[in-house]
Amino acid sequence: MCGIVGIVGTKPVNRSIYDALIVLQHRGQDAAGIMTDDNGTLCQRKDNGLVQDVFQQSHMLALAGKIGIGHVRYPTAGMSSSDEAQPFYVNSPYGICLGHNGNLTNTEELQALLVKQDKRHLNTGSDTEALLNVFAHELQRQGNGSLVPEAVFNAVRGVHERCNGGYAVIAMIMGHGIVAFRDPHGIRPIILGKREAGGEVEHIIASESVALDALGFDIVRDIAPGEAIFIEQDGTLHSQQCSEQRGYTPCIFEYVYFARPDSIIDRISVYKSRMRMGESLAEKIVREQPNHDIDVVIPIPDSSRTSALSVAQSLGVKYREGFIKNRYIGRTFIMPGQEQRRKSVKRKLNAIDLEFRDKVVLLVDDSIVRGTTSQQIIEMAREAGARKVYFASASPPVRFPNVFGIDMPVSRELVAFNRTEEEVSAYIGADWLIYQDLRDLIRAVRYDNGEIKDFDTSCFSGEYVTGGITTDYLRRIEIGRSDEAKQAREAARRRNGGGDKGGKESGPPPGVG
């Protein structure tokens, strides 16, 4: 999962892009990058690390120009190489910079065709680089005359025909403007906004509406599945449907975990979705344990707070903050390597003993993925004196790989895979475990938008909305993206002096956008 932003402004956009990336930092903490167009000169800065560490004052001063794009990266393949930091750039045609959120599921096929058929050179194994070169090739096919909007939209059509998977893309074409588009299923989020500036209009495109809020932009609308937006340098906006919608199925895990609660995605409030998740979870608790002995509901900070509060209110029991979070530790779910995730939990959370002592505690989390965090948190609750520890997940069991840009690629690393709920409960050490039902989760999220009838729920259901996800494909990504494979690649990178220059053989497996 990554965060992307693009701005066509009337004044320098470097600070605005920086501020947007700060707001989108929760979507990726591995690397950050900004590229701007200063009257035809490419200005860029990207590196590993958090936004505030990557960009110093000298870098910001060098990022001149009234148009630019930015990216924060979370690597689905677990690499930490600055060579994979986005945006990516290719100089032909025009000079194109591109950042993307999601994952292509036919990267290997694309890479082979790009090299053999399109005669394009690839430096990495990143699906973002493949996507960029597909777009560049399709744009070059439109001719070398003046770049008209129809040529851009024809190029996007070519991308949709060749690329499979879930993706939201923002690209900057040097000297011309910014283009953004979304996969035909609408899996990954992307939203358009505008604001008045001295009588002129500035436009922004970003992964989440919070970036618009932070910069004072008004929401225009979400980019539709298969749609493309082209904003010229003078602010003229063009849009066109470049592929038939193959559905309108946003990723439901955005609402469960990834997105900020103050975001609105596809006209659905993330905050209200999580409230309704809590309400339906409380209803299930009452159905299964009508005479429950819960004394207090405690959330696992931060993304479960809204659901936990709703659970407590619906059950009529106390809600308490029982864990204090160290805000200088990253999100454990997206940390590469099981051992690193394990070590980070106790550095990240500390229990307030008096909220646990001699009480029957219901801990509420947004989801249970590998089980490592849940197991340690339950241990902390017992050490703090809890008499019983119940555990509730605001989402269903995560049993299947996610192939559209979330790091859930290896079934055997998912605690619920091939385990019953009772077995998961025993594994994490809970006295009782309750999961949200998938039907209730879907109903909780789509409440605000009747246009959306379904979601990508593949990590819960094993059903992939794009189709074409074969057993062989899942086996290949399991080999490439297991914790062991990530650790081996990281060790090899360090042995080679920290670089990662070697294309397919030394780069990560397909799909790190």
For 231, the 3-state DSSP assignment is: strand
CB-CB contact of 216 with 194 (8 Å):
no
Closest CA to 208 of 224, 196, 222, 195: 222
Give me the residues paired with residue 392 across strands: 364, 434
For residue 356, how many other CB atoms are within 10 A of its CB? 25
State which amino acid sits at residue 341. Answer: R
| Residue 304, phi then psi, degrees to nearest 5 | -100, 0
- The DSSP element (H or E) to which 92 belongs, if any, is none
Q: Helices H, strands E: what count in the chain?
A: 18, 22
Cα separation, 257 vs 366, whole angstroms? 6
H-type alpha helices, 117-174: 127-140, 149-162
Longest CA pairwise span in the chain (Å): 76
Cα separation, 115 vs 358, whole angstroms? 65
Closest CA to 226 of 205, 209, 247, 203: 247
Cα separation, 402 vs 465, whole angstroms? 11
**Structure tokens, 418:** 């091939």
**Structure tokens, 19:** 């501020």
- Residue for token pair 């892009």: 17
State which amino acid sits at residue 122. Answer: L
Beta carbons within 8 Å of 369's beta carbon, 6+ residues apart: 333, 398, 408, 414, 415
Cα separation, 119 vs 42, whole angstroms? 24
Give me the residues paired with residue 97 across strands: 89, 172
Give whole-number Cα distances, 20 to 106, 194, 230, 454, in Å: 31, 14, 20, 29
What residues act catalytically?
2
- The DSSP element (H or E) to which 286 belongs, if any, is helix 270-288
**Structure tokens, 107:** 């990267």
Beta carbons within 8 Å of 297's beta carbon, 6+ residues apart: 308, 309, 311, 312, 315, 317, 318, 319, 320, 361, 362, 364
**Structure tokens, 117:** 């058929």
For 90, the 3-state DSSP assignment is: strand
Cα separation, 455 vs 53, whole angstroms? 36
State which amino acid sits at residue 135. Answer: F
Cα separation, 366 vs 275, whole angstroms? 11
